[in-house]
Copies of this chain bind each other. A is one copy, B any other.
Amino acid sequence: MLILMRRAMDARTKVRVVTSKTHTQPQKSPTTTSPSTTWVWTNPTSPISWISSNPKTKPSSPPPRRAFVIVRFQKQSHEITVDLSTRSIVSKNVYEGNGYPMLTFGEQTVASQLPFSYEPFKESLRKRGLNTSQVLCASFSIGWFGEAKTKRNVKVKCYYTNGTANLYARPLEGVAAVVDLDDMKIVGYNDRDVIPVPNAEGTEYRASKLKPPFGPKLKGIPVTQHCGPGFTVQGHSVSWGNWDFHVGFDIKAGPIISLASIYDLQKQKRRRVLYKGFISELFVPYQDPTEEWYYTTYFDSDGSPVKIPNAFCIFEKYAGDIMWRHTEISIPNQVITEVRSDVSLVVRIVSTVGNYDYVIDWEFKPSGSFKIGVGLTGILGLKAGAYTHTDEIKEDIYGTLIADNTIGVYRDHFFIYYLDLDIDGEVNSFVKSNLETVKVKDENIPRKSRWTVVSETAKTEADARINLGLKASELLVVNPNKRTKQGNKIGYRLLPGSVVHPLLLLNDYPQIRGAFTNYNVWVTPYNKSEKWAAGSYVDRSRGDDTIAVWSSRDREIEKKDIVLWYMMGFHHVPSQEDFPVMPTLSGGFELRPTNFFESNPVLKTKSPKPLQWPNCTSQH
């Protein structure tokens, strides 16, 4: 097994992680060996008891180190549990359900090379007068649209680089090969129409290839921890301020934060907050119904295990924000000004999925809040078209004309976060605190209305399927067995960011497969097998293993180990500013302690001492 995470020692070292569709060069001859797909998922059993400091409950030996492996071999998907310490197979099974395992880097590479030895494709290039050595191809999953039987097929589409590094800006529109991955051969081919390949001009984004003038010029600001960072990393464990947590990596999920706990200064003890959190699924449906685009409804990132150095960027963020402050001038002969600087710790990974770059942040605050952010940048998936001006367009082009012959197709980006909160312990409940208008009936009161909080504890999964934005409510995960000194329920509150709902019909195939977007919030009882909101075998899946299916069992979720699922997203109508590379568009949400602490947990936090830059002249 490969360990995919490395000690993140350097603050502010930005690195890339590529878990990506693969693009290959035509010169290399296709590999002919039969590819096998492996997918590794470590399975830590009960770390809670193992990290316990209580010698009575702590087991004498660590939990078994096991890995769950999916191997695609001879057209079958084998599920194997391996014991890593004894190097033995614990169990094995052939998966008979719908869908296929993730596409590996290797097999995508081979598939993308096939067109270059395929005569009709060569003819397509000749017909367009393209230089073969400047053509690159990539493979794309094709989804499921009601077919009774499916094969493990992908489509291969191609791009022209000639004069630019921005291949995505120069698609060979209308040309697509269908590749059977199990047989590793082209089983279909289409050259629908000769559509102009957009020009290379204006597509370049490398500073070294751009011409002056450059600008606007920004002055440097040194943000350096000259005596080292304020956090420590030991193995996979990160400690910073009052926070302790574990950072892991999974090829499908990306970063995994687990065993996050916070030290309560008042109670003088460490308290559990998050057992495990990660992005469970990603769904990017494009809104173009034409032949080469209708199936473009990506799920997750594809890839296979590979060792990635410097995959994480961990840094302390001091953005000039204020943790808390107050000025008081009402007390005679006194002016009180108390301000505390807001410093936070960010765990970042950048996941480049072909053309797109997703910036994924987990930000921890000394106040006990943690914020989860996603930034979208990189290059849009672009479609070539005949138009150079909107006045020429007489039909629906399913997108925005963002450059000559270049259409930014409408698309969504949906993310669903798996958040197994353990608020001060494993047994939790989900509470909807609805803010409801109350008519004031007392005739002595001149006011006619007010609002109050009506709290409702979700009993079953149906109570916790929520579309946000319809009514005012605060959503909390509480520990029903513990209360504050004042008697309030100990909890954490979800503060949503911008709210997005899906726009596809509920019975449309992509929506059935991406049914996790049907609600913004779901709560399920913890179940070891329910990790992936669109199922474990997403490629060509049929939506029979999604959170919508699990949740329809309507299990009890009160006073249980529960998982909160939060779905966020973006509807993306591209604009010209998104070309040739897109300025980051950000979104996110926050989890904030709410009657978790007895009082403000950062009341006694002092601002870091100001550090002075030495006299300017002595340095230059």
Contact = CB atoms under 8 A, between A and B. Distances in A.
A10 B436 CA distance: 47
B580 A600 contact: yes
A35 interface: no
Interface centre among A330, A338, A436, A612 (most CB of B within 10 A): A330
Interface string A585-616: 01000001111111111111111111111101
Contact of A289 (B12, B16, B442, B611): B442
B27 A332 contact: yes
A388 interface: yes
A225 interface: yes
Contacts of A503: 435-437, 449, 451, 472
A499 interface: yes
A450 interface: yes
A18 interface: yes
Contacts of A607: 218
Interface residues of A, number: 186
Interface string A209-238: 010011111111111111101100000000
17 contacts: A136-B330, A138-B330, A145-B446, A216-B265, A218-B366, A221-B223, A222-B226, A226-B619, A289-B447, A294-B440, A325-B378, A326-B355, A390-B483, A448-B509, A472-B571, A575-B595, A577-B596
Nearest to A334: B165
Interface stretch (A95-103, A190-198, A311-319): A311-319
A346 interface: yes
A32 interface: no
Interface string A290-331: 110011000000000000000000011111111111111111
A223 B611 CA distance: 8
A488 interface: yes
A583 interface: yes
Contacts of A214: 604-606
A448 B604 contact: no
Interface stretch (A49-57, A85-93, A199-207, A416-424): A199-207
B216 A603 contact: no
Nearest to A203: B599
A504 interface: yes
A73 B96 CA distance: 88
**How many copies are assembled?**
2
Interface stretch (A178-186, A245-253, A399-407): A399-407
Given A138-B330, A398-B452, A450-B398, A224 B222 contact: yes
A616 B227 contact: yes
Contact of A216 (B16, B241, B580): B241
Given A263-B216, A469-B469, A498-B496, A577 B605 contact: no
Contact of A22 (B226, B330, B357, B507): B330
B614 A594 contact: no
B398 A584 contact: no
Interface string A156-189: 0000010001010000000000000000000000
Nearest to A607: B218
A571 to B, nearest CB: 6
B287 A452 contact: yes
Interface string A367-401: 11100000101110000000011110000101011
B317 A613 contact: no
A579 B599 contact: yes
A221 B435 contact: no
A1 interface: no
Given A320-B12, A450-B287, A576-B598, A18 B218 contact: no
Contacts of A3: none
Given A16-B337, A580-B600, A602-B583, A448 B507 contact: yes
A242 interface: yes
A25 to B, nearest CB: 4
A288 interface: yes
A544 interface: no
A474 interface: yes
A493 to B, nearest CB: 8
B289 A445 contact: yes
A461 to B, nearest CB: 24
A211 B593 CA distance: 24
A12 B612 CA distance: 13
A413 interface: no
Closest 4 CB pairs of A and B: A23-B330, A219-B230, A390-B487, A145-B446
Contacts of A221: 223-225, 230, 316, 318, 343, 608, 611
B451 A504 contact: yes
A222 to B, nearest CB: 4
Contacts of A295: 446-447
